[in-house]
Amino acid sequence: MISCAYPKAQFLPHKDEILAAIQSVLNSGNYILGEEVSRFETEFAQYLGIDNAIGCASGTDALVLAMRALDIGPGHEVIVPSHTATATVAAVAQTGATPVFADIDPDLYTLDVSAVDAVCTNKTKAIIAVHLYGQAADLDGLLAITKRRGLFLFEDCAQSTGASFHDRKLGTMGDIGCFSFFPTKNLGALGDGGAVVCSDNALAARIRRLRQYGWDDNRLSLEPGMNSRLDELQAAILRVKLPRLDADNAERREQAEYYRTGLAGLPIGLPSERDDALHVYHLFVIRTQDRDGLIQYLKQKDIFAGIHYAVPAHLMPSFKGKGRLPVTEKIVNEIFSLPLYPGLGELAQSKVVSAVRGFFSCSPSHCANP
């Protein structure tokens, strides 16, 4: 069986070091906001080239903390893509602000700058740039809007840790960058985890306060806060994996190129890459009109693809977006993700390529019964 994602493959190469790191934490007797978290925060900030990184419980919490730190809440609007993980939109709703949906670029699947500009109102406070699938959003265009309109820009880097734009790591160009360390991410823990990054020291201090009840150093609540702490075990695991991140991302790019070469000439849309950006291929997303037929064909050959994402957020009952998003609504019926992750291996990839090519070369009756 070939799965779309397989977090264990990212554990096994580092098994001994990870187990040693876990044992060290267990022996320390300090399990919450100790030295491992502090060291990871320093190392992650240095990796990104930014002054501050604050660990938290999840990528969703990272977005909530970012918005709360800049006083975004009821009565405010935050522009988001509908084509994103639900977490992006759920975080806006958790602050009491209203998510406003904008359509996406038909080739790169990130926010369409002209669509963003069109939905701005006097209630708009921020834009969340989702760097989807490992691909940078159009930061030049979005930053131009935020500068002209006096808005905040948050970078949702849940799927793009290690990616860059204009030779700067994603997460460092907006007001605040938000990361997820869910096990399937490019930098994945063995449980939930997240981080908020920024260059403003005063803002970072407030985020640190907000992640733990609004406490100051004397555990006096200066303002209402959350309980959103990155635990020592996950921080220790992330410290083992962080030095390998660039190599893992390079492997993802090699696998993407293997697919690109092997699938050339077929009636499918292959991923595009933004100019002057480094795509880190959290997912390898292709597009075809007979998406469901191809997925079923692959499944019969023990190859399990994924759909990211089948239902856009603006069509979910929880969010009830206004208006139509024609590009988003079209592509969600055509896109799906092929297996791709460090450790997948060329043999598995060759089977995926052969199966996809087989689907397009066989007759409809043959495809139904491979």
Q: Write down the architecture of domain 244-360 according to CATH.
A: Alpha-Beta Complex (3.90)
pTM for the predicted model, two decimal places: 0.96
- What's the pLDDT at 317? 94
Q: So what's the pLDDT on residue 363?
A: 46
Domain boundaries along the sequence of the chain:
8-243, 244-360
Q: Which CATH class is domain 8-243?
A: alpha beta
Which has the closest alpha carbon to 271: 262, 260, 282, 280?
Answer: 260
- Residue 362 has a pLDDT of 78
* Residues 67, 80: Cα–Cα separation, whole Å: 13
Distance, CA of 257 to CA of 28 (rounded, Å)? 44
Of the candidates 300, 305, 303, the residue with the CA atom closest to the CA atom of residue 286? 305
**pLDDT for the residue numbered 163:** 98
Handedness of CA 92, 93, 96, 97 (dihedral sign): positive
pLDDT of res. 262: 98
SS3 call for 79 = strand
Residues of the chain with pLDDT under 50: 363, 365-366, 368-370
pLDDT digits (tens, 9 = 90+) for 184-234: 999 999 999 999 999 999 999 999 999 999 999 999 999 999 999 999 999
- Tell me what pLDDT residue 283 has: 98
Alpha carbon distance 159, 283 (integer Å) = 8
Q: 280 near 163, Cβ under 8 Å?
A: yes
